[in-house]
Chain A
Amino acid sequence: MRNQLLIANGQGFWGDSILGPVRLVREGPLDYLALDYLAEVTMSIMQKLRSRDPEAGYATDFVRMLDRVLPEAFDKGIKIVANAGGVNPRACMRAVVELARKKGCTGLKVGIVDGDDVLGRIDELLADGEAMANLDTGEPLNAIRDRILSANVYIGAQSVADCLAAGADIVIGGRITDPALVAGPMMYEFGWSATDYDLLAASTVAGHIVECGAQCTGGNYTRWREIDGWANLGYPIVDARPDGTFWITKHEGTGGVVSRDSVVHQLLYEMGDPTRYLGPDCTADFTSAIVEQDGPDRVRVSGVRGGAPTDTYKVSISYQNGYKATGQLVVSGPDARAKAELCADIVFDRLLLDGVSFAPDQKTVELLGTGVCHAGIVDPCDPPEVVLRIGVKDTDRRKVDRFGMEIVPLVTSGPPGVTGFAGGRPKATDIVGYWPALLGKDKVTTTVDVEEVR
């Protein structure tokens, strides 16, 4: 049994810098590298890709990243845990095994966690009495049944630990929760049981702190002027112990900061009721955590308490919910504000001439630069130039595309000083609705599979 574990997070979301994981592998000691690739919308995109190609539907960025860190990570014994499998973990595994073979990583074991994807089981589950009503609105699933794009259960640390116990050096999962990417290795390496709720809660808090990568090491930090070394901002590392105590730190010589403030920033991120943070493995009480500075770039977290999880999993269901488009123009001064407002009126009035209208809550007009983000809080101003951002949504795709054709004409048929139109006409894109629901834990079984590179 290990008595210490260094677990880093090198990817806060799909689209985060590839330098994060690459640098973590090179810059210092590490036992595990955790990587988060999923968001609610991601799963629907992946299902669409998979419907066109049976070998698609996972985060190809992950394979590109491995191309940069293998065989170094393998040689250093760094294990990797990622939810890069999306809706097709097995195809992701095949791609990783093939890459590892090319890189000469003989003996590397690639594992997957499967079973979170319940898209093909919706009717069976409904017939079995699982209503999967919308958690926010209470609406029954029938309201969107024929428009469902993806359905995935949030699975936890236990599944990751199972895959590691089966010998995996790389764990690829689908909708593994972000904290479980860190909690899973702790559970496995420290030999915790499924009822060690305080310990699991501690590892959940650790995972929560590092799940957005550099957001706990100086990124998105209120007092940003205090941060040095932006280009090589360090990515966070959990220095964990078997009793649930852990330190947040970063590799020596990297930029940014790990301070009580940087950690508290991230503890509060996307927080609901802090006394009852719900996860698949436990509930965690964030008000029990003792957070203390313990040397430069080192913060100690201890005392975390937790409780038993609920008997349901959270299911994330996505569905087609209409179309939207937004376009932008630059409007220079003098009178930038008034002219931008006029431009927006012209667009909607011209659409009316052509019989196309949108309800007030189906359109938006933002004069970026005048105080949009802090509306009602800062005084709106009339800057030397503004960006007019204008958008609509509707269930009728043709209306949304018609809107997209009426923006660029303003350059020659609007007030003077209109420019900066790039990227062509905005086209209608899908609105992916999000439908959170619950599903009985007895209805979901996750399985693991491990393949050795030969």
Chain B
Amino acid sequence: MSRIRLGDIAQARSGDKGDGSNVGVFVSNEADYELIRRVLTTDRVKAHFRGICFGDVERYELPNLFALNFILHDSLGGGGSESLKSDAQGKTHGLAILEMEIES
């Protein structure tokens, strides 16, 4: 077992969902999809975003796209016009998840 950066096998896009963000992560084949399904648990993602996400993390599976979709609740400082943050829409959260180190 070796450790890799999630960004070595996955790509991602994120955006806002109210006061939370959505982070979609996808890979290019079935084997990698099974890997991210196994390692990207909601607890793991919540811990990774501990400096950003202060609410629950929800996870949805899209096997047809080899993708997982996470909702990071309370991660935008109120969201929309309420937020004082530079990244009020969670645009950079996709790149942030790709920084995660995982066991391959």
State the A residues within 8 Å of B (CB): 40-41, 136, 220-223, 261, 264-275, 286-291, 321, 324, 326, 363-364, 366, 368, 372-378, 389, 391-393, 430-434, 436
B81 in contact with A434 (CB, 8 Å): yes
- Nearest CB to that of B96 among chain A residues? A374
A271 in contact with B24 (CB, 8 Å): yes
Which residues in A have their C-beta under 8 angstroms from that of B2?
Answer: none
- Cα A96 to Cα B89 in complex, Å, equals 33
- Nearest CB to that of B12 among chain A residues? A222
A-B contact count (CB 8 A): 131
State the B residues within 8 Å of A (CB): 7, 11-19, 22, 24-26, 28, 48-52, 60-65, 67, 69, 71, 77, 79-82, 84-87, 91-92, 94-96, 98-100
Which interface residue of B7, B87, B100 has the most chain A CB atoms within 10 A? B87
Which residues in A have their C-beta under 8 angstroms from that of B85?
Answer: 364, 366
| Cβ of B62 to closest chain A Cβ, rounded Å | 5
A-B pairs with the 8 shortest C-beta distances? A376-B51, A268-B24, A375-B51, A222-B11, A364-B84, A270-B15, A373-B92, A391-B84
Which residues in A have their C-beta under 8 angstroms from that of B79?
Answer: 434
B48 in contact with A268 (CB, 8 Å): no
B81 in contact with A431 (CB, 8 Å): yes
- Nearest CB to that of B63 among chain A residues? A287
- Nearest CB to that of B51 among chain A residues? A376
- Between A and B, 15 residue pairs with Cβ closer than 8 Å are A41-B80, A136-B19, A222-B13, A265-B13, A270-B15, A270-B16, A271-B60, A272-B22, A273-B60, A287-B61, A291-B64, A363-B84, A377-B96, A389-B86, A393-B84
Residue from B19, B64, B71, B84 within 8 A of A272 (CB atoms): B71
Further 5 A-B residue pairs, CB within 8 A, beyond A222-B11, A265-B13, A364-B85: A268-B25, A272-B60, A288-B64, A374-B95, A393-B84
